[in-house]
Chains A and B, each alone.
Chain A
C-alpha cells in the first residue's frame, strides 16, 4: 500500500509531536532522578539539565541510612499484602453470588451495596467507629474499613456475569461443589480482571497516607507515604526560632535528599506496572464492554 505525500507528512509530524509530548511528560521524572544523583550545589543550579555534571551518592546515602524509610517500607508492604488479600477475598466472595441471576433478592442487595458509593459515613463517624472497635493505632485501621471497594467489586461482578452459564453447569454435572466451581472454573477464567482489580488495590494501598495520619499515633507504625510526605513537606530547615549557629543538614542538601527519597519510595510500584499492564488493558476493556 502506497502512502501519499500528505499521509507521509502527517506521519512525520505526528511522530515529532508525540515524541515531544512524551519528553515533556517524562522530563519531570528525569529531573527528579538526576537531582537525586547530583551534588548539593548542582541540584540547586537553575536551568535545563539532561545529565548531572557530577555524580554524587550523598542523597542516597542519607536516605538509605534513614531508619524511618525502612520502617515505612515494611509497614507499607505489610499493609499492601494484607489489604489486597482482604480486599480480593471479600470482593470475590461478594461479587460471585451477586453475579448469579438465581440469587434471591439480588437487586436489593446490589442496591444496598451501591448505596454506599453515594453516601458514606464521613470522616468523623468513621473515626469514632474505628476507635470504638479499638482498631486505631493498628494496621487493621488501614485495611478493614476499605476491605471492599464497591466500585471494584461491581466490576468483578460484571465480569463474572459475562462467563457463560454453561461452563459452570458442565462443572456441576461433573460433581463440582459451588466452591469448587468458583475456585477451579470461574477464577482461572477471570485472571485479567483479578489482576486489574488487584493492581488498583495495590496502588491504592501503596499511595494511601491520610488514613495513616488520622489513625496511627506511633511514628514507627507509619506507612511509607506518610514518612515520605513528612520528609518532603517538612524539609524546611530547622532553624526558625532556634539558634542559627549550626545546622544538621544544609538547606541545599535537602533538595537532593527529597529527590532521592522520591526515587527510593516510588521505584517498586513503578516496577510492578509493566508486568501487570498487559492484563490491565484487557481487564479494563472487558469490564467496560460487558458492564
Chain B
C-alpha cells in the first residue's frame, strides 16, 4: 500500500514537471478602457519606466482619445525580456526593432502587416518625409516578400559624420598656426606633439593620438574598419561589396600606424580604449592632456556652449574642468589621405530600425489607424511634437529657443518625453532642426557635413550574422591592434585577410553582396 502511494506521488511529481508547456489562457482582449478609448501597449525604450500618471502623457491621451500604456523593459536585457513576454502571449502593440529582429519577427508571425496605401492615406507626412530624407526606395527596402510590416525610422544625427578635435594651444606652442588638414600635415604636428613638449611641463609625457585618432587615420586611408559601434562596415569597390577591414589600403595605413607606435606617437594604453570604460564618445585621455588629437564622436559630442548658462557638450565641459579655462581645443576637418580622398565615420540617416506593430493590431483596424494617426500628428504638428519631445513650456523646458530642459533627465523619462527620440517616430527631420537653436545646427553643418564618402553600404542584418559576425569583428580588432603594436608584422596582412575570410567573412561577404544587389542592385 505504502509502495503504491509513493509511486503515485512520484508519477504526479514527474507529470507536474512536464506540464509547464501547456496552453495559454491569458487573452488580454479588452481593446478599449472604461472610457471607450482605444488601449495601446507602447514599448517606450526610454531608459526608465514612464510614470503611470504623467501629465504630459495625459495631455497626449486626451488629444488622441487613446489610453497609452507604456511598457518598459531593461534596455540591456531588452531582446531577451521581449522574447519572454511574447512567449507569454504579451505582444506590445508598438515596438521599435532592428533589421535582424524585424525580419525574424516577420517570419515568426509576430508582426502585423501595415499596407503602404494605408500609410499614404493616414500618414502622408510620415510617408513623404521618409522618402525625402531616407531615399526613394526605402519603403521597398523595408518590405519582406512584397509586404510592408514596419516603417523605417530615421535618425537626424546620421546625416553628419564624426568631427576631429585638435589641441590648438599645443599647436601654437610647437609653432604650427594652422589646423592640419592632410595626413602629412597631421604627421608633422603629431611628431612635434610628442617631441617638443607642447604642454610645457618639461617632461616628455604627451602623445599625439589614441584609439579614436587611429580611427581617424584609417578613415583618411578610406575605410571604417575600427569604428563604433561595429567593426564590420562595407564599401563598394568595382561593383562588388567588400569589408572595409580587408581593403588593400588598410595595409598602408597599418604600416604607417605601426611606425608611429614605434616612434611613441600613439598612447600605448590605446588598447583599453580612449574612453576608459565610459560613454563611447567620452575621450578621457584627451581630458587628461595626454593626447592632442582625437575624433570622439559627432558634432554634438564636442560642441561648445551655444547659449548663456550652458555647459557645452560633455567633452567640452569635462575637458575644461580638468585642464582649466586656459587650455583649449578646436575642431578640424577629416584628414585627406595619400590618395587625395578624405572621410570620417558616418552612421547614415537610416540604420535599419523599424517602427512595427504587434499582431494584436489587426491590419486595417481602428487601432492601426489610430497609431498611424498619432505618428502623422507628431510628424506634422510642431506643437504636439514639442509637447511629446520636450514637455510643457516653462514647466519642463525653458522657452529660450533651444528648449533647454528645466527638469532632470530622470524626471523627463518618468514623464515619458521623447527625450532620446526613441518613444515615438520622428521622421520629419525638419522638426528636429526647428527644435534647436540655429547656432547648434550651423555647428553641425560646418564641422560634421564636410564630406560624405564613408557611410556603410550594407546596414541591414545578414543571415549569418549570428554565426560569424562577433568572431570576425573580434578578429579584426585583435589583429589590427597587433599590427599597430608590432605584435604581428604588417607583412602578414595578406595572410590575415585569408584567415578572416576563412573565419566566416567569405560567407558574410557573399550575403552582403546579395543583400545589396537585392535592394540597390543595377
Contacts and interface: CB of A to CB of B under 8 A. Distances in A.
Interface stretch (B2-10, B136-144, B500-508): B2-10
B287 A239 contact: no
Interface in B388-431: 402-405, 408-410, 412, 419-422
B17 A127 contact: no
A248 B404 CA distance: 11
A46 B2 contact: no
A54 to B, nearest CB: 13
Interface in B461-503: none
Interface string A18-43: 00000000000000000000001100
B21 A239 contact: no
Given A108-B10, A112-B10, A230-B48, A248 B278 contact: no
A240 B84 CA distance: 29
A117 interface: no
Name the residue in A41, A217, A251 with the highest tally of chain B Cβ atoms < 10 Å from its Cβ: A251
A123 interface: yes
Contacts of A119: 17
Contacts of B3: 105
Contacts of B47: 230, 234, 238
A32 B436 CA distance: 39
Nearest to B403: A243
B266 interface: no
A46 B284 contact: yes
B239 interface: no
A190 interface: no
B229 to A, nearest CB: 12
A78 B359 CA distance: 39
A40 B84 contact: no
B21 A44 contact: no
B35 interface: no
Given A119-B17, A128-B88, A246 B311 contact: yes
A219 B48 contact: yes
A125 B20 contact: yes
A4 interface: no
A218 to B, nearest CB: 7
Contact of A236 (B21, B279, B317): B279
Contacts of A246: 309-311, 404-405
B54 interface: no
B285 interface: yes
Given A234-B47, A244-B303, A213 B290 contact: no
Contacts of B10: 105, 108, 112
Contacts of B312: 244
Contacts of A210: 77
B288 A250 contact: no
A44 B317 contact: no
B87 A124 contact: yes
A235 B309 CA distance: 23
Interface in A202-246: 210, 213-214, 217-219, 226, 229-230, 233-246
B228 interface: no
B420 A240 contact: yes
Contacts of B147: none
A237 B314 contact: yes
Nearest to A115: B17
A234 B49 CA distance: 13
Contacts of A131: 26, 88
A175 interface: no
A5 interface: no
Contact of B278 (A41, A121, A129, A254): A254
Contact of B440 (A132, A237, A243): A243
B420 A245 contact: no
Nearest to B311: A247
Nearest to A129: B20
Contact of B402 (A115, A116, A243): A243
Nearest to A212: B74
Interface string B47-71: 1110000000000000000000000
Contacts of A244: 300, 303, 312-313, 440
Nearest to A66: B410
Contacts of A229: 76
Contact of A243 (B14, B83, B84, B404): B404
A45 interface: yes
Contact of A252 (B88, B318, B403): B318
A268 interface: no
A188 interface: no
B157 interface: yes
B6 A108 contact: yes
A250 B437 contact: no
11 contacts: A115-B17, A119-B17, A124-B87, A126-B20, A219-B72, A238-B409, A240-B420, A243-B402, A245-B404, A251-B318, A255-B278
Given A121-B17, A131-B88, A236-B278, 20 more contacts: A41-B322, A44-B287, A45-B288, A46-B288, A123-B80, A214-B81, A230-B47, A237-B279, A237-B314, A238-B412, A241-B156, A241-B422, A243-B402, A243-B440, A244-B313, A244-B440, A245-B440, A250-B318, A251-B278, A251-B282
Interface of B: 2-3, 6, 10, 13-14, 17, 20-21, 24-26, 47-49, 72, 74-77, 80-81, 83-84, 87-88, 155-157, 269, 276, 278-279, 282, 284-285, 287-288, 290, 300-301, 303, 305-307, 309-314, 317-318, 321-322, 402-405, 408-410, 412, 419-422, 435-437, 440
Closest CB pairs A-B (n = 5): A125-B20, A238-B409, A251-B314, A105-B6, A241-B421
